[in-house]
Structure 1
Amino acid sequence: MSDDKLLDAIIAQTKLTKKQTDKQQKIVETAIKLFAEKGYANTSTSEIAKAAMVAEGTIFRHYGTKDNLLLSVILPFIKDSIPTMAEEVFTEIMSKNVGCFEDFLRALLKNRLHFINENREIFQIVVKELLYNDELRKELLPFFADNILHRITKVINTYKDRGELIDIPSHTIQRMIFTLIGGYFVSRFVLQLDNCDIDEEAEIENLIRFIMDGLRKQ
């Protein structure tokens, strides 16, 4: 899914809501189109206001900040779309003949890295809000737990039953894997601790080796 397609899907959903005034609807649609064309960071609230033919103060009155404007449409989209998106992702991954757990991890990492690369700015905004906004975490994390973590646990159980994984609780394995992979995505795409060119294939293999074998020299 590309950035444009994701933003187009968000626009389509905003058209279905009855909670916004015509002016708010125009602001939201204009903002998302400009974000898609120019990038979030390169779009100012004054440009949005001009294109939507409203005063810039109207945007601030309704949304406060540019981040809040984007979040106001992203969050309903996430809630409505996570179940379907999660189903599509796991169906696609499991259709790749993932014969062992290592194959599953590799397919999952490649899938999510591609998605985040294509939707980097949206990912950054959502993660930053989750890090600092307690209410948002309480609101969104149950959706992630029910639709993503639950599915990962089911996959872990499958490979545990085959005798591939160590005999510790599946939710513990899931939590450790999610912490490692989630931390990697956040450090790379949000905190941007390392700005040098990255060999993505090598990064994926290093993550897999670390998850499967750890640090101790065998």
Structure 2
Amino acid sequence: MAKELTIQDAFQNVMATRGDVPPKQQQVLAASLALFAEQGFANTTTKEIAARAGVAEGTVYRRYRTKDELLAAVLAPFVSEVFPDLIEDFATNIVKRDYITRHDLIAAVIQDRLHFIQENRDVLQVLLTEVLVRSDVREQLVPQVAPLVAKNLYPVLDRLKAHGELIDWPNDRIAQFMIGTMMSQLVRGILANEEVESAGPMMIAFIEKGLAPA
């Protein structure tokens, strides 16, 4: 199995293929994402970003007049490319396996996503905050992500329903309950500063029972 992409790996891969983003600007955006994740948006200065990127602070200001503009520039490729790339990577390595039972699917998805959350926790905290507070990001993100979830997850759910392994509910609801359970654990992990993977067995049992055929 190929090594799973981290969020920062996916971000840098996207930046490297963007012909409209000069190398120094790529360095500034990558440094901004790393520092926002490490110490928070409010606690990060443009001087620190410039130092991490290896450029003069004036280089940052020439392109981004405020730190909010810089944050917007960091978020933009997530909506259009980074999140879709991460979903495709997850689908290829985890979702599209030939699962026989709902337990196999749910266990594989939960274990993989909790590990992903743990590995990318700091970046996810920044992204989750911005998705919650910025309606423009949400409005752009949903039309990008929803079709990818439908394309990659729904055929697996349909096959398990046909084999009597899943309750016959709409696929979007099943996806909502699976994703929502993981998101709630991400929020709890951030607020309580606990290891999110520790909840894996309980989450698997909870979702498996909830999605059992009537």
User: With structure 2 as the length reference, what TM-score do the two structures score?
Assistant: 0.75
CA distance in 1, matches of 2:153, 2:96: 15
Higher relative contact order (CA 8 A, sep 6+): 2
TM-superposed CA distance for 1:31, in Å, is: 5.1
Structure 2 counterpart of 1:41: 39
Alignment of 1:128-167 (within 5 A): 128-167=129-168
CA distance in 2, matches of 1:120, 1:71: 20
Cα distance change on mapping 1:68 and 1:121 into 2, 3 Å: farther
Mean Cα displacement is larger for which, 112-121 or 34-43? Answer: 34-43
AA paired with 1:171? D
Give the CA deviation at 1:173: 2.1
Matched, 1:52 2:55: yes
Measure how far apart 1:178 and its partner are: 2.3
Structure 2: runs of 5+ lacking an equivalent: none
Q: Which residue is equivalent to 1:208?
A: 204
Give the Cα separation in 2 of the matches to 1:171 and 1:9: 26
Alignment partners' CA distance in 2, 1:199 and 1:140? 25
Letter paired with 2:57: V
Contact 2:114 2:182 (8 Å CA) reproduced: no
| Matching residue's letter, 1:204 | G
- Residues matched between the structures, number: 202
Q: Unaligned regions of 5+ residues in structure 1, if any?
A: none
Q: Percent identity?
A: 26
Closer, same or farther: CA 163–11 of 1 in aligned 2, 3 Å:
closer
What is the CA–CA distance in structure 2 between the aligned matches of 1:172 and 1:122, rounded to whole Å?
27
Structure 1 residue 81 displacement after superposition: 4.0
Q: Is the 8 A contact 2:80 2:144 kept in 1?
A: yes
Matched AA of 2:64: H
Q: Is the 8 A contact 1:159 1:165 kept in 2?
A: yes
CA–CA separation in structure 1 for the residues paired with 2:185 and 2:196: 14
Equivalent residue, structure 1, for 2:24: 26
Inter-partner Cα distance in structure 1 for 2:17 and 2:96: 33
Question: What do the CA deviations read for 1:74-102 (whole angstroms, capped 9, x no partner)?
Answer: 43145224444323322322576633111
Q: Quick check: 1:28–1:73 contact (8 Å CA) kept in 2?
A: no
Structure-1-length-normalised TM-score: 0.74
Closer, same or farther in 2 for the Cα pair 1:152/1:68, shift >3 Å? farther
CA separation in 1, counterparts of 2:114 and 2:133?
A: 23
